[in-house]
Amino acid sequence: MVEFRNKQMINIYLILSLMIIASFRFAFSIIDFSLNRLASPILWISFFFAGMFSLSLTYKREIEQGTGEGLLLAPISLSSIYLGKLLANLLVISCLELFTLLIFFVFFPVDIPDLLTLLTLVFFGTIGIVALGNIISAISSNLAQSEVMLPVLLVPLLLFTVVMSVVSATSKVFAGAHLLDVINEIRFILAFDVVFIAAGYLLINYILED
């Protein structure tokens, strides 16, 4: 929630997603391609990288500002810290994604898909990204070169699980599918979310305690 108090930070995130979308638009302006088919991967890669910057600070800020110890001393379980961070990140990254989506529709002249389905997918996909990203961020904040280590650790785990399935579902939406057409994919993504939250909830103790 520090993000909202610190206007500087949230502005930088917004500018960053603008830059990412603009660079994709630039990359695809010089070749001939079908916008509707590439929309989904472009969108999710933007979400993924914009979200990662927000995730990278989640635990690192606590360590740098010395507030981490206070947090550990508080009479709450470590798992609740994880859940709290999860909700905070979810809020920040969701706002970020809505903004990115807006810019995306401005920059890329795609057919407007079923927005309810798109937003549902974005929401559930984001839960997965944040649930796993949170615990990896806790790991990387304890490492040297933590800024580089977060993407190194996160990409192989996240890109081939949640992001992959959500991208294939989103491309169906851009091809004209509605909520009921992708209900199987949504169930699947929900299963990922549950597994990741459970893993984070159980394993966070081992990361934070020392």
Q: Does 197 bind another protein (CB under 8 A)?
A: no
Decide: helix, strand or coil at residue 149.
helix
Which residues are CB-contacts of 62 (< 8 A; sequence separation ≥ 6)? 68, 71, 141
Taking the CA atoms of residue 196, residue 127, residue 97 and residue 109 in that order, the dihedral angle to the nearest 10 degrees is 90
Provide the residue type at 161 as one letter: T
- Residues 208 and 148: their CA atoms lie apart, in Å, by 20
75, 68, 41, 79: which is closest to 198 by C-alpha? Answer: 79
Q: Applying CB under 8 A, which part among 77-85, 105-113, 115-123, 150-158 lies near another protein?
A: 150-158
Tell me the two tokens of residue 34: 């079908």
Q: Applying CB under 8 A, which part among 55-63, 90-98, 105-113, 130-138 lies near another protein?
A: 130-138
Q: Which of residues 166-185 bind another protein (CB under 8 A)?
A: 168, 185
Q: Does 155 bind another protein (CB under 8 A)?
A: yes
Gyration radius of the chain over CA positions = 18
Q: Which of 161, 175, 177, 181 binds another protein (CB under 8 A)?
A: 161
Least distance (Å) between residue 8 CB and another protein: 29
How many chain residues touch another protein (CB under 8 A)? 29
Least distance (Å) between residue 197 CB and another protein: 12
Q: Does 87 bind another protein (CB under 8 A)?
A: no
Decide: helix, strand or coil at residue 109.
coil
- Tell the residue number behind the tokens 């699947």, with chain if given: 188
Least distance (Å) between residue 159 CB and another protein: 9
Q: Which of 109, 112, 145, 180 binds another protein (CB under 8 A)?
A: 145
For another protein, the binding residues (CB under 8 A) are: 132, 135-136, 139, 142-145, 149, 152-153, 155-157, 160-162, 164-165, 168, 185, 188, 192, 195, 199, 203, 206-207, 210
